[in-house]
Amino acid sequence: MSININPSSNTVLQLANISLSFGGVKALTNISFDVREHEIRSIIGPNGAGKSSMLNVINGVYHPQAGDIYFRGEKRKQMNPAEAARQGIARTFQNIALFKGMTVLDNIMTGRNTQMKSGFISNAIWVGKARNEEELNRHKVEEVIDFLEIQHIRKTPVGKLPYGLQKRVELARALAAEPSLLLLDEPMAGMNVEEKQDMCRFILEVNQQYGVTIVLIEHDMGVVMDISDRVVVLDYGKKIGDGLPDEVKNNPEVISAYLGTNH
């Protein structure tokens, strides 16, 4: 299958013919799609469709056996998570990956890690550059706290928080890195309706106010169709649909994958 690769000027990320397998298990087969600047791009699909694998390929946790990734016009065979973070890709995880014993504030501060340049010694004795840097970083973190309305839990250990709030803290940590591309792995899983509404509002505001491009995996179809600009549908590691929410919704292949009639 040949894919027409002509990265238009506003394409941030282009995935071309990506294939990923673990031994005999084919997680992703020949997947291609692109992500444009400032859009909300959703990846949907039934369980085991390869959504999280796709996200892991994008920020370099998994290395695909075949295919190319173009990030901001630069071609690379594979990404590396640290490299990805430095280049402005931040993410959240499906099963929250926060430091449970640390406070919300400290957790979010770790998101500033890539911006911290001062050395180990000056940090240890907290003088000069380290001090200014901490103030600046703390200021950024406080802006995120204000934005996500989590002032009241600033000093609370993350492990004590309800699930919905932990998800919000994870988003906060990702935002603290001031990303240009944000990968969200099921940001609304396990949330009640009110928490979902809040989360939707935050995602839209991050997208609109800060112009952050968002790639989103989500199970809640209502949410996906409401907030996405474009949607990719995966099933058994293959792409079965790609387009505007309405197009995807009416795609017969997508419908059958979701209703399970074909399997």
Partner 1 sequence: MTKVVKTLTFPKLLLEHAKAIPKRPAYREKYLGIWQVTSWEDNLKEIKQLACGLASLGFKRGMNLAIIGDNRPKLYQAMVAAQCLGGIPVPLYQDAVAAEMIHVLNDAAISFAIVEDQEQVDKLLEIKDQAPVLSTIIYEDPKGLNDYVQSYLHSYKQIQLLGKTFSDEHPEFFITELEKGKATDLSVILYTSGTTGKPKGVAHTHQNFIRAGQNSSQFDHLNSEDNILAYLPMAWVGDHLFSFAQAMVSGLTVNCPESKETVMSDMREIGPSYYFAPPRIFESLLTQVTIRMEDAGTIKRKLFELAMEHAKKVGSDILDGKPIGLIDRLQYAFYNLTIYAPLRNALGMSKIRVAYTAGEAIGPDLFRFYRSIGVNLKQFYGQTETCAYVCLQPDGQVKYDSVGIAAPGIEIKLADTGEVLVKGVSVMDGYYQRPDATAESIDADGFFHTGDAGIIDKDGHLRIIDRAKDVGKMANGKLFAPKYIENKLKFFPFVKEAVVFGDAKEAIMTFINIDFEAIANWAERRHIAFAGYIDLASKPEVYKMIGECINKVNVDLADDPMLSHAQISRFLVLHKELDPDDDELTRTRKVRRGFIAEKYAPLLDALYSGKSEQFIETKVKFEDGRDGSISATVRIQDASTAMESV
Q: Which residues of this chain interact with partner 1, rule CB under 8 A?
A: 138-139, 142-143, 145-147, 149, 151-152, 154-155, 205, 208-209
Nearer to partner 1, 54 or 206 (CB): 206
Nearer to partner 1, 149 or 247 (CB): 149
Least spacing, CB of residue 88 vs partner 1, in Å: 22
In this structure, the number of other CB atoms found within 10 A of the CB of residue 226 comes to 11
What residues form DSSP beta bridges with 182? 90, 214
CA distance from start to end of the chain? 24
> How long, in residues, is the chain?
263
Least spacing, CB of residue 156 vs partner 1, in Å: 10
Nearer to partner 1, 156 or 251 (CB): 156
Least spacing, CB of residue 180 vs partner 1, in Å: 19
Give, as one character, the DSSP assignment of residue 188: T
Do residues 103 and 173 make contact, with C-beta atoms less than 8 angstroms apart? no
Nearer to partner 1, 205 or 247 (CB): 205
* Three-state SS letters, 9-72: CCEEEEEEEEEEEECCEEEEEEEEEEEECCCEEEEECCCCCCHHHHHHHHCCCCCCCEEEEEEC
Nearer to partner 1, 28 or 206 (CB): 206
Least spacing, CB of residue 151 vs partner 1, in Å: 5
Least spacing, CB of residue 66 vs partner 1, in Å: 42
